[in-house]
Structure 1
Amino acid sequence: MKYITYDVLDRIAFITLNRPEKRNAMSNQLVTELKEAFMEAEKDDGVKVVILKAIGEAFSAGADLEYLQQLQQFSYEQNYADSNHLKELFLQIYSCKKVVIAQVQGHAIAGGCGLATVCDFTFAAPEAKFGYTEVKIGFIPAIVMVFLIRKIGESRSRGLLLSGSLISADQAKKIGLVNEIVAKEELDEEVIHFAAQLVVSNSAYSMSVTKQMMAKVQTLPLEDALTFAAEMNAKVRESEDCKRGVSAFVHKEKITW
């Protein structure tokens, strides 16, 4: 791969944006490589958690300027295909069966902020800034808003998307966009430690089903959501992971997943 690296260690997949000279700006090729990497991580039974990180000063500065200029020459059909390409990536990360952690060491802007938004957890350095600046260049944060509203609610999303303002890591944490703020020099260690804890402490099956359910229940009427939840509750009770986990709990035995 040209713009990312992919590695697996101790059941953790590391997907790393590696285009520092362009501030890890997103292009069609970068999106393609990310889709391939997440597909590889999802199908690998030896991977339980994915860490999405970046090399360089920025996590991702959004769309590549040269690429934006190319889009001006596209037909509607070409632009729709390109937009759908990004939509597929965001949906792929959001619905990935594995837990995905964003490790944001620098600014995450526009599409780059979208990448962090669709992850399950976001750890950020204090210096990192977040924002969706599309309205400042006559564009719109179309695809990410679907996920952002789910994550932080409509009111806060309106504030970010309509202003196009950048916010600090601390502000991002206060509104639920970031989970933890960690000193940049300690970020690698802290994220790996958190991922390792998930690997050994939690059932992969349980985390996967929980993620799928959280995505679905938000689209259902209340009674339908509760019926679906009851059905999944009953189904999971029959799983091998549940039987192992309950048995270990009852017998006060330590279980390593």
Structure 2
Amino acid sequence: MNTLVLYSVADRVATITINRPEKRNALNPQLIEALTETFILASEDDAVKVVVLKANGDSFSAGADLAYLQQLQHNTFEENVTDSNNLKKLFTTIYYLPKIVIAQVEGHAIAGGCGLATVCDIIFATPESNFGYTEVKIGFVPAIVSCFLKQKVSETIASELLLTGKIFNAEQALQYNLINFVTNANEINQTVQDFALSLCKESSGNSLMITKQLITQTTNPLLEKSLETAVQINARVRESSDFKKGIESFLNKEKITW
């Protein structure tokens, strides 16, 4: 098993832990692939009924890795399509997983990290957690996650969050209906475990799976088509001068003037 992602099972609850704390659990191709593989493992594990996604360190995930952003500047369009499809695959694997996925968000969940939490079925966060779809601030677009966010919050709120790229706290996330629970940091581990165990003990696994299918397959019948469009937009925007300017300024820690 890749040490970027840890996997354990107890009492029919699988825990998938992002284990890149020295990089604030930032996403790169290797981590995206490892997460996808681990979720597929959980989906096929007969000992698992519910999955908890969490992270080691102070951040849930700070978005894209700096070295990864640097590499994107040199990708061909085809490489960017492949890269975007890999992120789409991770998000759809979680979204359509035949088991319930609970996100345990502690610390920052920003950009792709916020997207990762967004596609989970139930989200717990600590009061100190911050969220944000910050892509527009560096000349990028929150293309893939936008397809999911509009199903969780109203179009009015989705537009505000995606267009401003603002950072918002857990209480605001709760008000937006993005997350389900705000739980103190010293209690969140136990609270999430208790919630997961209650699902295991009080609900039929088959019924949970089919109810999740009802939610994911009837809420937005055009999701797959939207995601295909999002992948193309994601790849195209990476060729824009604004993207190159934004990434270069971000990497050099320079203030960007748009």
TM-score by length of 1: 0.85
1:220 and 1:40 map into 2 onto residues whose CA distance is: 27
Q: Residues 193-204 of structure 1 correspond to what in structure 2 (within 5 A)? A: 193-204=194-205
Deviations 1:170-199 (A, max 9, x none): 000011111001110111010000000000
Partner of 2:108: 107
Pairwise CA distance, 1:2 = 2.8
1:177 and 1:217 map into 2 onto residues whose CA distance is: 19
Partner of 1:173: 174
2:25 and 2:136 map into 1 onto residues whose CA distance is: 21
> What letter is aligned with 1:101?
I
Runs of 4+ in 1 over 3 A off after TM superposition: none
Pairwise CA distance, 1:65 = 0.8
Deviations 1:198-218 (A, max 9, x none): 000001101110111112222
Partner of 2:81: 80
Q: Does 1:119 align with 2:120?
A: yes
2:220 and 2:94 map into 1 onto residues whose CA distance is: 18
Give the count of matched residue pairs: 221
Pairwise CA distance, 1:4 = 1.1
> What letter is aligned with 2:110?
I
Pairwise CA distance, 1:45 = 1.3
Percentage identity across aligned positions?
A: 53
Q: Aligned to 1:216, what secondary structure does the other structure show?
A: helix
Partner of 2:97: 96
> What letter is aligned with 2:157?
R
1:74 and 1:220 map into 2 onto residues whose CA distance is: 32
Structure number with larger C-alpha Rg: 1
Q: Larger relative CO (CA 8 A, sep 6+): 1 or 2?
A: 2
TM-score by length of 2: 0.84
Q: Give ranges in structure 2 of 5+ residues lacking alignment.
A: 223-258
> What letter is aligned with 1:171?
Q
Partner of 2:189: 188
Partner of 1:242: none
1:192 and 1:26 map into 2 onto residues whose CA distance is: 25
Partner of 2:58: 57
CA RMSD of aligned residues (A): 1.0
Deviations 1:82-105 (A, max 9, x none): 000000100010011100000001
1:37 and 1:132 map into 2 onto residues whose CA distance is: 25
Q: 1:46 to 1:128 in 2, by over 3 A?
A: same
1:220 and 1:116 map into 2 onto residues whose CA distance is: 21
Q: Aligned to 2:187, what secondary structure does the other structure show?
A: helix
1:219 and 1:190 map into 2 onto residues whose CA distance is: 31
1:44 and 1:144 map into 2 onto residues whose CA distance is: 27
1:114 and 1:52 map into 2 onto residues whose CA distance is: 13
